Structure 1
Amino acid sequence: MRRGAIYGSLPVPLELNIPFTRVRRTVYFGLVGLTTLGGTLMMTAIVSAQGLTLLECVILALFVPTFACIVVPFWTSVIGFVLRVSGRDPVTLDVTGSLKRPLPRGQVRPRAIPKTALVIPVHNEQPELVMARIEAMIQSLRKVTLETDSVHVHLLSDTRIHSIAVAEVERWMELQSRYPDFPIHYRRRDLNEGRKAGNVSEFCERCGYDYDLMVVLDADSLMTGEIILHLMDLMEANPDVGLIQTLPLPALQRSLFGRLVQFAGALYGPVLAFGQAFWFGDTANYWGHNAIVRLRPFRDHAKLPVLSGRPPMGGQVLSHDFVEAAFLRRAGWRVIFVPDAAGSWEEVPGNIGAYSRRDRRWAQGSLQHLRLLKGERLHPLSKVHFLLGAMTYISSLLWLLILVAGTAYVLMPSSHGVTVAPPLLIKAPLFSLLIFTGSLLFLPKIFGLIACLSNDRDAFGGALRIVVSVVTETVFSVLLAPVMMLSHARFVVEIMLGQSVGWAAQDREGSDLTWREALRTARWPLAVGLLWGGTTLLLSPLFFLWMSPIFLGLILSVPLVRWTSLQSFGLRSQAAGLLLVPTETAPSDEIIFVRAAKDALSVEHDSTETEANGHYVRCAYTTTPRKSYHV
């Protein structure tokens, strides 16, 4: 352990004491259970008014798990909202800020700096942008620490395209020449065993003995030097903590879809995250990036199993992060979520097509987690994380089935030989249930809006712009929800039928989709919308109006996919003051630096770069790196 010094507005180490853990979870799951029971009783009264038919039993059986899936985030957001507006830390329940007592700017204090590796696994990424993010973090760290040789950067490449690999070395050597006093290492594997998790695991086995801590980053991750040192402080002050996860907020989005996701994450995300941290306690989850881990226990206890059988449900675990957190907790190490630590960002796919491709991989990994529910000595809450992660996708299939069953219930002749009238006309209890369900779905948005208006309105463009942006985001989320529901339902069916997914580079930057690409992306939602909606309109125009939000999103899916992918639409919304977030109104130095790199690369692509077979290409030359290793 080396001695060093830091200066600036940095937090003093504080023990993470988590009081009333059992009480928190008892209250939370009690509220979830009682609310689910109430909704189930309401639905039972509706469908059994004249006796239960087989179809009504199916509807009721589908309703219970789907309703529970909206109750869980509702009560999470209620608790998060209370904590946000009351100024309480969700982990310790102290007054917010007690974890972040700042030092006056420029004041220097000695502290022990543990040897820490900043690990960035990459796979066929754009080297310029990867290096720009690394450089932004190096500059940020140099502002807050006087000793940088205790923090090493490790770029772990699994790149398979030769031209990109050569460009990685080129950009790495340029970066190293600009920061000769900052240790920056580069390694590329010949065999990509275990994908990203295997990449990080190989580093832990090869180099992990040289470090105390490891900050895990994605290729699109960005963190400030302050938050990195804050995490190091917390790990030092809490030797029984094995992993601390931050809340990475979406940033640097340009397309309309990306800015919608970015706005929703910035406005609603903190409320939900505060609630999660409250009931997670010492058994939080891990999202695979923007987190710090204690290397020795991670290396010793977080090795992934190879599931028996063939993919998609067997073989390598695709979603490694949940499993690694569960294994750390099983070994007795606390896993903490700190959502109030500002300065942690990520980027998201810029169009629905790229977003869905990422979700397809996540869906397969989440369903694999169901096979681990019987794992020995796993903490019960770790199993809850597995189950909720899988239900994120399974619930879409259940919602689709309940909507189809509900349509059949209304349109098919009853046992008396007549068609059941639309429930809007004859069943007041259903009206109450719909209002109840709608409240569970939309109140979390209201909580985020109120919390923002109370604390951060200027950072989001002012009260009026925030309200208009919330309405805009809500309209798009309602229209896109059936498209995503159908996509997730299809993913689950494909996995059940044995269709696995490959490992392709993520489309992190996104691109404007052509009409043909939009049609290819949304062909199934469009076909289902036309068939389902057309049949309903023919048999019951009134019920078609009742279901119009679902049908409208499906029928308009192609233009929605096309228009939301356009960067011009996103930039126009920004120019109009809509969907603004703090990284746009008051960007940090790190955000400004990476944004400039993205702008420069965009100009360079317009003038000199080409696309070949869908991959990024640069002029290649061979070189022998000075501080690299190859395995």
Structure 2
Amino acid sequence: MTETYDSRAPWRMRAFIRRSLITMFVVSQTVVASYFLLQVLPYHGGTMVELAIVAVFAVLYLWISFGFWIAVYGFGLRLAGGDRQSLMRRHSQAELEATALSKTAIVMPVYHEPVKWTLDGLKAIYRDIEREGRLDDFDFFVLSDSQDPDVWVEEQQTWGRMVEELGAEGRMFYRRRRVNLNFKSGNVADFLRRWGKDYQYMVVLDADSLLSGETIQTMVRVMNREPRVGILQTAPTVINGRSAFARIQQFSSRLYSPLFATGLAAVQMGDAAFWGHNAIIRVAPFMAHCGLRKLQGAGIWRGPIMSHDFVEAAFLGRAGYEVWLEPSLRTSYEESPPTLDDELARDQRWSKGNIQHAALMFFEPGLRLAHRFAFLNGIMAYLSSPLWLLFLVLTTIAAVQLTITPIDYFPDGHDSLMPLWPEWRPAWAVSLVVSTMALLFLPKLLAIVDAVFRRQVRAFGGGMRLLGSVLFEIVVSVLLAPIRMLAHSHAVLSALLNVRLSWAGQNRTEETGWREAVIRHLPGMILGAVWSAFAWTLDPMFFYWSLPVSVPLMLAAPTTVWLSRLRNGQRLADSGLLLTPEERSPVPVLVDARHYRCRVREEPLLTPVEKAILLPVENRLHRHLARDKRKGHRRAVIAEAVKACLRDGCVGLDREALSLVLEDRASLEELHRLAWRSPPGTFWGAKVQCLVRHWPD
């Protein structure tokens, strides 16, 4: 992780020292732990299986040791009042407030998201900036890649109503791409080609992002005072958890993440990673240096780059720009998937994108070593699972060899004339297990101490409830770890085999049913039961050693279902467990978002597509956004689709035909006129009569 530093940036020497120290601690600790493991194994590394066990263990131990020392470093910095070398500490509050704002675009790419829920979040951000009196400095863009007509038509209608309600004409815009080239990165690139030259900065949001107006303004002012900064990344906190699973993720994010984010920011400094959202980007260098070419390798390493954010940060760093992570930029929020299965489905997409980065990590010229390490960090987030699985397989093989085969006094690679006697050292084994558990769980204790020193214990529900929440979170984490291991191993294997994945919007509300859970987790449940039974027949001690992995796998379905239930999340909240400060003292942008999203809506008489055809205001809006598509071979296709729509309604058209009709200005006008003239017995005639009956007097 160490690297030479550039004297032109004074922070680079500090970063070099910090990274060297972290590397020294991690490597030395791993060497000691690996030596302990060698002494624990019966033949002390005298067989190929034992050598493989130690090698895999060393890689996994490096991974968790790095996370441990990052958390410890973050704890120390927070205890000392923060990192004095951070970007935010360069400027006083008075200096920042005196700094002018620059024209900034706030962009929200969306793809088949819950429409009203998503745009209500953007409305809350708009209102928060409006309260600050700085709307003239910001424009808002909804960038849609949705292809389902029922979704994108509703997006346009909801956007139109929101613009009218907010008085945001000329400030809030909607653009929908017809072709989803290169996913989210292509969506943003399309925006930049059209409007990038009009803005100095852009703030990138996800569909679940919430940022306060104060934080957005601070980000713009810092960028204006730091011309070498290309990206300023916030550390979002998870909010709005309702299911038990989401509440656990929310609590973990709020309590533990500040330590890790502070430590990571202090080590990365100006070579930080970009997480793709809740960040501000300097537009001109981003456009100049962050174009993503297609990979030219084989299999997964061929074609468009799926996970773009780390790559864009690395390219900006190569161009001489800095990327900073600033945990002190508070009131930055995102949401967690509501169920474990939704998280695992998301991780399957992310794992493929992260593993793609191996090609860039090894072969892309000119990248800084810190950004190459960020690629490795992202890869290990998923590769650690199959390595853990491999470790379990190797230890099982070793146990089988010791149990059912005679003692081999001359094992693999032992060419001495003297026999090698197997030796067991249970005390060493206990020490190694305890030290490994300390790496995993000590950061959680430090997070509690951090909350005490910052006088936030009451905000988490009080001392006993905070401790109970941490213990409950640990139990659930232990139950989920083997399930994630198996799922991530499958995701990595699928990625390496270049299995095609679908790109879909995230579920944000639905619970997991029993049938769905059993079908998804049945292979793991069978594997856990078979492995545990095999361990019992092999050796009772090995059986007990296997239980922390096999039992969670066998309980995967009930665990997943229980954690997905909203009522269980509410029961935890009612009992005072897993509370967060934002729930007890929410900031205005969160209050607004919750208020808008909780508004009760009457059951609509018409679907969004039917509104687009029948209602005059909606029809006029869609005609304004549509084009003239009756050209060439499409003319006959659209004409036939219009006839079918008039005869049988929208249900008679497939998605492609319906999209063609709704994207054509003349077809929308023709359908609106003729639908209102349809006889009562027809599809549209019945819709018109229904509207007339319910029309307000």
Q: Which amino acid aligns with 2:368?
A: H
Q: Match for residue 590 of structure 1?
A: 589
| Residue 101 (str. 1) matches residue 93 (str. 2) | yes
TM-score by length of 1: 0.90
Indicate how the Cα distance of structure 1 residues 309 and 447 shifts in structure 2: closer, same or farther if over 3 A, else same. Answer: same
Residues 570-602 of structure 1, C-alpha deviation per residue, up to 9 Å, x if partnerless? 0110111100012211111211222233333xx
- Alpha-carbon shift at residue 249 of structure 1 (Å): 0.9
Does 2:391 match 1:391?
A: no
Deviations, residues 325-351 of structure 1 (Å, cap 9, x unaligned): 000000000000001211000011100
- Whether 1:148 and 2:135 are equivalent positions in the alignment is yes
Deviation at 1:440, TM superposition (A): 0.7
Kindly indicate whether residue 218 of structure 2 is the aligned counterpart of residue 240 of structure 1.
no
1:621 aligns with 2:612: yes
The yes-or-no answer on 1:272 pairing with 2:272 is no
CA contact (8 A) 2:44 2:50 kept: no
Q: 1:62 maps to which residue? A: 56
User: What residue number does 2:485 align with?
Assistant: 485
The CA deviation at 1:549 is: 1.4
Distance 1:50 1:385, change over 3 A: closer
**Displacement of 1:93:** 8.9
Instruction: For residue 231 of structure 1, report the CA deviation from its aligned partner.
Output: 0.4
Larger relative contact order, structure 1 or 2 (CA cutoff 8 Å, min sep 6): 1
- Give the counterpart letter for 1:259 in structure 2: R
- Structure 2 CA distance, aligned partners of 1:258 and 1:91? 34
Amino acid at match of 1:449: I
Match of 2:430 in 1: 431
Q: What is the CA distance between 1:526 and its match in structure 2?
A: 0.9
Is the contact between residue 47 and residue 56 of structure 1 (CA under 8 Å) also seen in structure 2? yes
CA distance, structure 2, for counterparts of residue 141 and residue 18 of structure 1: 35
Aligned residue type for 2:113: E
CA contact (8 A) 1:284 1:335 kept: yes
Equivalent in 293, 298, 313 of residue 325 of structure 1: 313
**What aligned pairs does 1:530-549 form with structure 2 within 5 A after superposition?**
530-549=529-548
CA contact (8 A) 1:90 1:278 kept: no
Residue in structure 1 matched with residue 290 of structure 2 by the alignment:
302
**Aligned AA for 2:603?**
T
User: Structure 1 residue 92 and structure 2 residue 81: aligned?
Assistant: no
Q: 1:45 to 1:203 in 2, by over 3 A?
A: same
Distance 1:618 1:474 in 2: 47
| Of 152-161 and 429-438, the range deviating more from structure 2 | 429-438
Structure 2 CA distance, aligned partners of 1:355 and 1:599? 24
Is contact 1:194–1:316 with CA below 8 Å preserved after alignment? yes
Contact 2:42/2:423 (CA < 8 Å) preserved in 1? no
- What letter matches 2:442 in structure 1? L
Aligned counterparts of 2:565 and 2:512: Cα–Cα separation in 1 = 7
For residues 478-530 of structure 1, the C-alpha deviation after alignment (integer angstroms, 9 at most, x for no partner) is 111000011111111122223132211122x1411110011122222212111
Aligned: 1:573 with 2:572:
yes
Q: Say which of 57, 70, 75 aligns to 2:69.
A: 75
Q: Sort the Cα spacing of 1:178 and 1:608 in 2 relative to 1 into closer, same or farther, 3 A.
A: closer
1: CA distance between counterparts of 2:17 and 2:35?
26
Question: Unmatched 5+ residue regions in structure 1?
Answer: 1-14, 611-615
Secondary structure of the 1:413 match is: helix
Q: Any stretches of 5+ residues in structure 2 without a counterpart? A: 1-8, 410-421, 614-618, 628-662, 664-697
Residues 110 and 92 of structure 1: CA distance in aligned 2, closer, same or farther (over 3 Å): closer
Q: Using the TM superposition, give the Cα deviation of residue 99 of structure 1 relative to its aligned residue in structure 2, in angstroms.
A: 5.5
Paired residues of 2:248 and 2:578 also in contact (CA < 8 A): yes
Residue 76 of structure 1 contacts residue 272 of structure 1 at CA under 8 Å; is this kept in 2?
Answer: yes
Is residue 521 from structure 1 mapped to residue 520 from structure 2 by the alignment? yes
Partner of 2:630: none
Residue 182 (structure 2) aligned to one of 186, 194, 197: 194
**Deviation of the 1:198 alpha carbon:** 0.2
CA contact (8 A) 1:286 1:324 kept: yes
1:136 equivalenced with 2:124 (yes/no): yes
8 Å contact kept, 1:127–1:167:
yes
1:21 to 3, 7, 15: 15
Q: 2:370 is matched by which residue type in structure 1?
A: L
Deviation at 1:538, TM superposition (A): 2.5
Match of 2:470 in 1: 470
Q: Give the AA of the match of 1:545.
A: Y
DSSP 3-state at the match of 2:365: coil
Matched-pair contact (CA < 8 Å) for 2:43–2:423: no
In structure 2, what is the equivalent of residue 42 of structure 1?
A: 36
AA partner of residue 431 (structure 2): S
In the TM superposition, 1:107-118 aligns within 5 A as 111-118=99-106
% of aligned pairs identical?
Answer: 34
TM-superposed CA distance for 1:379, in Å, is 0.4
Please list the CA deviations of residues 220-250 of structure 1 after superposition, one character each: whole Å capped at 9, or x if unmatched.
1000000000100110110110000000111
Count of aligned pairs: 598
Deviates more, 1:315-324 or 1:300-309: 300-309
Distance apart, 1:609 and its partner CA:
7.7
Tell which structure's C-alpha radius of gyration is larger.
Answer: 2
Indicate conservation of the 8 Å contact 1:127/1:171, yes or no: yes
Give, in whole Å, the separation in 2 of the partners of 1:109 and 1:81.
Answer: 29
Q: Does 1:557 align with 2:568?
A: no
- Separation (CA, whole Å) in 2 of partners of 1:432 and 1:60: 16
RMSD: 2.6
What's the CA shift for 1:389? 0.6
Contact 2:100 2:221 in 1 (8 A): no
For residues 179 and 453 of structure 1, the distance between their equivalents in structure 2, rounded to whole angstroms, comes to 42
Distance in 1 between residues matched to 2:110 and 2:348, nearest whole Å: 20
The answer as to whether partners of 2:153 and 2:608 remain within 8 angstroms in 1 is: no
Cross-structure match for 1:10: none
Summarize the Cα distance change of 1:153–1:325 in structure 2 as closer, same or farther, 3 Å threshold.
Answer: same
Q: Distance in 2 between matches of 1:451 and 1:109?
A: 30
TM-score normalised according to structure 2 size: 0.81
Shift of 1:283: 0.2
Q: Distance in 2 between matches of 1:609 and 1:412?
A: 67
